[in-house]
Amino acid sequence: MHIVPNNEKLFKYGMTESSLYDICKSSTESNIHLFWKCSNEQPFWCEITKIFNERLNISDEIALTYQTFSFSNVDTNIK
Ligand SMILES: [Zn+2]
């Protein structure tokens, strides 16, 4: 819904000096990088996936995707 004031948007409107993600400083702080693609976030999602699969106790493992948790159809190949 584009309500998160990430650095990508703040930089676009001249409200911050850089569009880079403050934590890793390796990529633009877009929502997809902030919540999914950043290597700092992947351990969190791996742990959530592990908990889901353990708690649901179903035969097929669930693979979380950005589209699943964000309820969007955003192309995850974009930065
Ligand atoms: Zn990052």
pLDDT digits (tens, 9 = 90+) for 16-53: 999 999 999 999 999 889 988 999 999 998 898 888 88
Record the tokens describing residue 70, joined without a space.
């964000």
pTM score, two decimals? 0.72
Residues 6+ apart with CB under 8 A from 61: 49, 53
Q: How far is the CA of 62 from the centre of ligand 1 (A)?
A: 24
The pLDDT score that the predictor gives to residue 75 is: 66
The pLDDT score that the predictor gives to residue 77 is: 61
pLDDT surpasses 70 at 1:
no
The pLDDT score that the predictor gives to residue 70 is: 77
Q: Pick from 42, 47, 37: which is nearest to 78 by CA?
A: 37
Whether the CB-CB separation of 21 and 39 falls below 8 Å is answered with: no
The pLDDT score that the predictor gives to residue 17 is: 96
Residues lining ion ligand 1 (Cβ < 5 A) are: 21, 24, 38
Q: How many CA atoms lie less than 13 Å away from 77 in the CB half-sphere?
A: 0
Higher pLDDT, 58 or 23: 23
Cα separation, 46 vs 42, whole angstroms: 6
Q: How far is the CA of 51 from the centre of ligand 1 (A)?
A: 24
